[in-house]
C-alpha cells in the first residue's frame, strides 16, 4: 500500500523519518511521499530522511520557530492559519499514486496534538483518498497536561479521520531507560508493526506473488467504517534459505514436502494467538472488534493457506466478528515469520477511559487554579489595609 505520510510535531516527524529508514532497509515502498510539519525549527532540523524541501515550519509569526510548548489549542490555531503552507508541500505529492494519507502525531504535546486533526479535516475536504491517523498516546508518567492534551486531541482526531490507529507509549515504556533511547526503540516497534501491515498490500516486482496475498484494498476495507484500531504482532525466527532456483527445485529443495506442513500450520496458528493476545499497540479487549485483518509475513515456504485460514477463523471466534480478512505477505530471504493483526473498530478500551478520567481531573485542577490565581496574586501584591498606591 502506498502512503503519503505527514509527520506532525516532533514525534510525528521522527516516526515518519523511521518509516523511510524501514522502507529503505526492506524495499517495501510504502512511503510514496513524506512531509514533516512543525512549529519548532530545531525539531525539523533533527530529521534525517525527510527531504529538506518537505519540511514545513509553521507559526513563525506566532512562536518564532520555538514550538508551542504543549499548548494544543495554539497548535490547532496555527495549523488553521498556516494550512496553505502545509498544502503547498502536499501539492508536490502525486496523489493519484497514493492509496491513502497517514498523519502521524504524538497526541500529548501541542503542535501535533492540535495540528493533526486540523490537517485531517482539511485533507478530507479536498481529496477522495482515505485519510488515516496514527496517534501516539503519552506515557501516564508524563503528567496531567499531556494526558489532557491527548484526551482532547484523541476525541477530535477520531472524528476527523477515516480511521485512527493508536499506539500507546504507556504500554511500551521501559523503566530505567533514557527517554530518547527509549523512544528510539519504541519507534522501531511502531514501524515494524505498521510497516508489515502497510507493506503487505505492496508486493513489489521480484517478490513472490502468493496464492492469497493481501491487497491494499483489504487494508482499506478493514479500516473503512472508521473508529479506532490497534495492531498485534508476534514473530518467530526461521532458517532463511534462499532457494527457488531451477537446480534447487529439481533437487526438490524448494518443495513443500521438505517442510512439515503440520509444523508450518501450527507455527502460524500459534503466532496468530500470540499476536492477538500479546501486547497490542493500544491494549484493549479484542472481543467486539468490528473488523480484523491477519497478515502473515515471511518466506513463502513458511506460509500456508491452511494456517492462515485457521488463524482467521480463530480471530472470528475471539472477536465475534464475521468480517475477518487474512492473507500472505511473502518476503523472500527473510529470517523470520511474523503475524500482524489489525483490529479495527475496537470499543472496549479501558486505557482510553482511564486517560479521560485523568484528563478531567487535570482540567478541573487547571480551572480551579486559574480561578484562584487572580485572587491570590491580588492578595500578595496589595497590602492588607490598602494603604499603598500604585505608581500609575
Beta pairing partners, 101: 4, 131
130 near ligand GTP, judged by CB under 6 A: no
Q: Is 365 annotated as a binding residue?
A: no
28 near ligand GTP, judged by CB under 6 A: no
Q: Which residues of 279-304 are buried (b: 16+ CB within 10 A; e: fewer)?
A: ebbbbbebeebbbbbbbbbbbbbbbb
Choices 111-119, 297-305, 321-329, 344-352 (CB under 6 A): range interacting with ligand GTP: 111-119
Residues 150-209 that bind ligand GTP (CB under 6 A): 169, 183, 186-187
For 326-350, the DSSP string reads EEEEE-TT-SEEEEEEEEES----H
Among 33, 111, 321, 344, binds ligand GTP (CB under 6 A): 111
20 near ligand GTP, judged by CB under 6 A: no
67 near ligand GTP, judged by CB under 6 A: yes
Q: Are 22 and 28 in contact (CB under 8 A)?
A: yes
59 near ligand GTP, judged by CB under 6 A: no
Grid cell for residue 167: 499506539
Minimum Å gap between C-beta 156 and ligand GTP is 14
Distances, alpha carbon 96 to alpha carbons 71, 76, 117, 217, 388, in Å: 35, 28, 23, 15, 71
Collect contacts of 205-210 with beta carbons under 8 A, ≥24 apart: 207/330, 207/331, 207/332, 208/300, 208/330, 208/332, 209/330, 210/300, 210/303, 210/327, 210/328, 210/330
In terms of CB distance, is 19 or 146 closer to ligand GTP?
Answer: 146
327 near ligand GTP, judged by CB under 6 A: no
C-alpha neighbours within 13 Å on the C-beta side of residue 43 = 25
For 206-246, the DSSP string reads TS---TTB--HHHHHHHHTT-SEEEEEEEEEE-------SH
Minimum Å gap between C-beta 177 and ligand GTP is 13
Among 7, 59, 109, 117, binds ligand GTP (CB under 6 A): 109
In terms of CB distance, is 138 or 326 closer to ligand GTP?
Answer: 138
Q: Is 304 annotated as a binding residue?
A: no
C-alpha–C-alpha distance, residues 149 and 108, integer Å: 5
- If binding means CB under 6 A, how many residues of this protein chain bind ligand GTP? 27
Q: Is 11 annotated as a binding residue?
A: yes
Q: Is 111 annotated as a binding residue?
A: yes
C-alpha–C-alpha distance, residues 124 and 120, integer Å: 6
Among 7, 59, 108, 299, binds ligand GTP (CB under 6 A): 108
Spell out where the chain has E strands. 3-8, 31-38, 55-57, 100-106, 131-137, 163-168, 228-237, 291-298, 324-330, 336-344
142 near ligand GTP, judged by CB under 6 A: yes
334 near ligand GTP, judged by CB under 6 A: no
In terms of CB distance, is 139 or 330 closer to ligand GTP?
Answer: 139
Computed on alpha carbons and rounded to an integer, the radius of gyration of the chain in Å comes to: 24
In terms of CB distance, is 136 or 166 closer to ligand GTP?
Answer: 136
Minimum Å gap between C-beta 101 and ligand GTP is 18
DSSP designation for 93? S
Among 30, 35, 47, 70, binds ligand GTP (CB under 6 A): 70
78 near ligand GTP, judged by CB under 6 A: no
14 near ligand GTP, judged by CB under 6 A: yes
Binding site for ligand GTP (CB under 6 A): 9-11, 14, 39-40, 43, 67-70, 106, 108-113, 136, 138-139, 142, 146, 169, 183, 186-187
Annotated binding site for GTP: 10-14, 110-112, 142, 169, 187
Amino acid at each position: 500500500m502506498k502512503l503519503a505520510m505527514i509527520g506532525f510535531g516532533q514525534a510525528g516527524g521522527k516516526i515518519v523519518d523511521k518509516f523511510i529508514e524501514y522502507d529503505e532497509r526492506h524495499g517495501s515502498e510504502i512511503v510514496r511521499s513524506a512531509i514533516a510539519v512543525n512549529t519548532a525549527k530545531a525539531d525539523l532540523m533533527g530529521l534525517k530522511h525527510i527531504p529538506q524541501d518537505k519540511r514545513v515550519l509553521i507559526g513563525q509569526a506566532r512562536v518564532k520557530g520555538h514550538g508551542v510548548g504543549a499548548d494544543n489549542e495554539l497548535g490547532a490555531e496555527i495549523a488553521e492559519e498556516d494550512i496553505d503552507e502545509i498544502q503547498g508541500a502536499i501539492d508536490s505529492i502525486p496523489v493519484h499514486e497514493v492509496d491513502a494519507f497517514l498523519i502521524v502525531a504524538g497526541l500529548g504535546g501541542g503542535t501535533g496534538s492540535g495540528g493533526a486533526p486540523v490537517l485531517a479535516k482539511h485533507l478530507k475536504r479536498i481529496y477522495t483518498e482515505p485519510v488515516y491517523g496514527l496517534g501516539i498516546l503519552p506515557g501516564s508518567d508524563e503528567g496531567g497536561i499531556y494526558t489532557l492534551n491527548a484526551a482532547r486531541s484523541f476525541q477530535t482526531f477520531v472524528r476527523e479521520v477515516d480511521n485512527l490507529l493508536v499506539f500507546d507509549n504507556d504500554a511500551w515504556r521501559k523503566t530505567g531507560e533514557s527517554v530518547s533511547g527509549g523512544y528510539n526503540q519504541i519507534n522501531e516497534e511502531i514501524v515494524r508493526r505498521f510497516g508489515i501491515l502497510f507493506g503487505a498490500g505492496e508486493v513489489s516486482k521480484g517478490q513472490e506473488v502468493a496464492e492469497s496475498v493481501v491487497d491494499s484494498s483489504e487494508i482499506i476495507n478493514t479500516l473503512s467504517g472508521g473508529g479506532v484500531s490497534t495492531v498485534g504482532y508476534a514473530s518467530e525466527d526461521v532458517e532463511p534459505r534462499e532457494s527457488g532456483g531451477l537446480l534447487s527445485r529439481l533437487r526438490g529443495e524448494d518443495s513443500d514436502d521438505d517442510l512439515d506442513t503440520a509444523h508450518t500450520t501450527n507455527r502460524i496458528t500459534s503466532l496468530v494467538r500470540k499476536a492477538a493476545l500479546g501486547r497490542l499497540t493500544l491494549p484493549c479487549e479484542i472481543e467486539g472488534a468490528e473488523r480484523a485483518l491477519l497478515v502473515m509475513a515471511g518466506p513463502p515456504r513458511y506460509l500456508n493457506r491452511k494456517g492462515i485460514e485457521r488463524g482467521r477463523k480463530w480471530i472470528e471466534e475471539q472477536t465475534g466478528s464475521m468480517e475477518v480478512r487474512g492473507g500472505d505477505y511473502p518476503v523472500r530471504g527473510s529470517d523470520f515469520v511474523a503475524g500482524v493483526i489489525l483490529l479495527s473498530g475496537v470499543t472496549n478500551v479501558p486505557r482510553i477511559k482511564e486517560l479521560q478520567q485523568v484528563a478531567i481531573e487535570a482540567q478541573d485542577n487547571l480551572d480551579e487554579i486559574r480561578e484562584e490565581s487572580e485572587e491570590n496574586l491580588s492578595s500578595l501584591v496589595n497590602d492588607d489595609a490598602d494603604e499603598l498606591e500604585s505608581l500609575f
